[in-house]
A and B are shown apart, each in its own frame.
Chain A
Amino acid sequence: MMRRLGTMLYPIATLVALVVIWYAAVKLFHVPAYLLPLPGDVIERIREDFWFLLHHSWITTGITLGGFVLSIVIGVPLAIVLVASKTLERAVMPWLILSQTFPKVALAPLVVVWFGLGLGPKLVVTFLVAFFPVLVSTIVGLRSIEREMIELARAVRASTLQTFWHFRLPLALPNIFAGMKVSVAFSVVGAVIAEWVGANAGLGYLLLQANANLDTGLLFAVLVALMVIGVVLYYAVELVERLVIPWHSTIRLQNPTA
């Protein structure tokens, strides 16, 4: 427990240092508040508009989670299919990779034109931004199985399905979780983009509003809210990871006491 606390001290120290630099910079260079408000002002703004921010954060979190879940329920099976079929992989993978070089922000308005303004299109945009890491890591995970492991599966005469279920999938889980951690962070970005192009609520929407009104205080308050959402979701995924694959070395090495 003491060690936990000890490791938490480092990021907190970094945060304090950054806030101090921020504060000093504003004071030192007389930065006007509409460009960069003081840390204290941002905190004050968050306190003032707490319930308002919470309401919009809730909406954005919903879209983020929805898109993230879509990324998993589509990304993982898609990876499985691509690994299973060489033909399909050859046909589809280059296009999937190409699609990633494409700025997905540019797709968002199109999705709105096609699907309208409801929840659906927002989930689609978030999914488009977030699914690739899950897809790629799942593919890597399913592929990176040692030769002797495969030989063991064959020696015990496991069927293709059994080999997948008892060997390949569990062995891919560490990679899948690595992809999910990237993906959940991308999902927050995706949700904000989705709310930029057709929303009347949510943090992305607030961001546009604040920008239009030169309300830098609100802008910063929203950024803080987004950060909190991102960090909480990231650690939630990590918690699930600890529960699902406690046997994996990356987790064991993190808490040697366990």
Chain B
Amino acid sequence: MAQPITISGVSKTFGSGTAGVQALQDVDLEVAAGEFVAIVGASGCGKSTLLRLVGGLAPPTSGRIEIGGKPVVEPSPGIGIVFQTPVLLPWRTVEQNVQLPLVIQRSGDAAQRIQDLLELVGLRGFERRRPYELSGGMQQRVALCRALVTDPSLLLMDEPFGALDALTREQMNLELQRIWLETGKTVLLITHSITEAVMLADRVVVMTPRPGRIREIIEVKLPRPRDFSALRDAAFHEACERIRMLMNASGFVE
């Protein structure tokens, strides 16, 4: 039961007057139910801010955001968020961290599901470890499991694979694509990797900085399931080049 997202005329300003920072300006975006949309843009262009607004963690200064036709005023049920930092609870084990949303929502025992998720991200055998015993990339994967454990219909991810090595990252990309194909969630993915964006997304939103606006939306017309051999595909190449060009034009160098 995936849900569409409607973002219309959204602006966000932090602070006020001359000290105010305009993070987003007039952002319009329609994400269809079950669509996979990636957002790229220079550091500080408002990507995380946009995700927070969609997640109902902060209100827009102006404009409207709707999920499934209902205006967002607080975090809606059925969303999973992966934050830019893992934010794991240090006193909980890996397993218990993944379990957290279920504990809060008083859902039943899901030991098997947690096992499966940890297996999926390659963290089997680490169930009883505490976050400080894990590398940054491992922590990010725990955070991903935590977002997935409730099987949300909308998944919001802020650079979930930023701390991973190239190979693990590609594996995670493939897993994410598989999960998405199987469950048909709506996905919003922020990433700094153009390849990752093109590899995974139906559409890639390119943002420009200060104030953050949508520069252009690139449609990626590649067949699914995709894998990294698609890298050699002309269409893949073309999409990457186009995005790179757009980002360079707005003063971004990868």
Q: Nearest residue in B to A152 (C-beta to C-beta)?
A: B87
Are A170 and B89 in contact (CB-based, < 8 A)?
A: yes
User: For A245, what are the chain B residues with a Cβ–Cβ distance below 8 Å?
Assistant: 91
Of B79, B84, B90, B91, the residue contacting A155 (CB under 8 A) is: B79
Contacts A155-B81, A157-B105 given: A247-B87 contact, CB under 8 Å? no
Give the most central of A151, A152, A162, A166: most B CB within 10 Å.
Answer: A152
Cα(A11)–Cα(B74), bound, Å:
55
A149 touches B87 (CB 8 A): yes
Interface membership of chain B positions 37-61, coded 1 if the CB is closer than 8 angstroms to chain A and 0 otherwise: 0000000000000001001110000
Q: Given the interface contacts A148-B85, A152-B83, A166-B100, does A247 sit within 8 Å of B105 by beta carbon?
A: no
Q: Give the shortest distance, in Å, between B164 (CB) and chain A (any CB).
A: 19
| Interface-centre pick from A149, A157, A158, A252 (highest chain B CB count, 10 A) | A157
Q: Which residues does chain B contribute within 8 Å of A48, judged by CB atoms? A: none
A-B contact count (CB 8 A): 49
User: Is residue A156 within 8 Å, beta carbon to beta carbon, of the partner chain?
Assistant: yes
- Mark contacts of A230-253 with chain B using CB atoms, 8 A cut-off: 1 yes-contact digit, 0 otherwise: 000000000000000101110010
Interface: A47 (CB within 8 A): no
CB pair B101 A148 closer than 8 Å: no
Specify which chain B residues have a CB less than 8 angstroms from the CB of A23 in the assembled complex: none
With known contacts A167-B89, A170-B91, A157–B103 Cβ distance under 8 A: no
Q: Which residues of B contact A249 (CB under 8 A)?
A: 132
A157 touches B91 (CB 8 A): no
Decide if A154 is an interface residue (CB 8 Å cutoff): yes
| B189 CB → nearest A CB, Å | 16
A79-122 CB mask vs B (1 if < 8 Å, else 0) is 00000000000000000000000000000000000000000000
Contact with A along B130-155 (1 / 0, CB 8 A): 10100000000000000000000000
Whether the pair A151, B104 counts as a contact (CB closer than 8 A) is no
B69 within 8 A of A: no
Residue with the highest number of chain A CB atoms closer than 10 Å, among B56, B75, B84: B75
Nearest residue, chain B, Cβ from A244: B91
B77 within 8 A of A: yes
Q: Which residues of B contact A157 (CB under 8 A)?
A: 75, 77, 104-105
Near B by CB (< 8 A), chain A positions 140-157 give 146, 148-149, 151-152, 154-157
* B132 near A252: Cβ-Cβ < 8 Å: yes
CA distance A249 to B130 in the complex (A): 12
Chain B residues within 8 Å of chain A by Cβ, number: 23
Task: Report B-chain residues with C-beta under 8 Å of the C-beta of A148.
Answer: 83-85, 87
Which residues 52-109 of B sit at the A interface, judged by CB distance below 8 A? Answer: 52, 55-57, 74-75, 77, 79, 81, 83-85, 87, 89-91, 100-101, 103-105
Enumerate chain A residues within 8 angstroms of B77, measured Cβ to Cβ: 157
Residues of A within 8 A of B52 (CB): 151
Measured CB to CB, the closest approach of chain A to B163, in angstroms, equals 15
A191 to chain B, nearest CB (A): 33
Establish whether residues A162 and B90, one from each chain, have CB atoms under 8 Å apart when the complex forms: no
Give the A-binding residues of B (Cβ under 8 A): 52, 55-57, 74-75, 77, 79, 81, 83-85, 87, 89-91, 100-101, 103-105, 130, 132
**Besides the contacts A151-B83, A166-B100, what 15 more A-B pairs have beta carbons closer than 8 Å?**
A148-B83, A151-B52, A152-B87, A154-B57, A155-B57, A155-B75, A155-B79, A157-B105, A162-B104, A167-B89, A170-B89, A245-B91, A247-B90, A249-B132, A252-B132
What are 19 A-to-B residue pairs whose CB atoms are below 8 Å? A148-B83, A148-B85, A148-B87, A152-B83, A154-B57, A154-B75, A155-B57, A155-B75, A156-B100, A157-B105, A166-B89, A166-B103, A170-B89, A170-B91, A247-B90, A247-B91, A247-B130, A247-B132, A252-B132
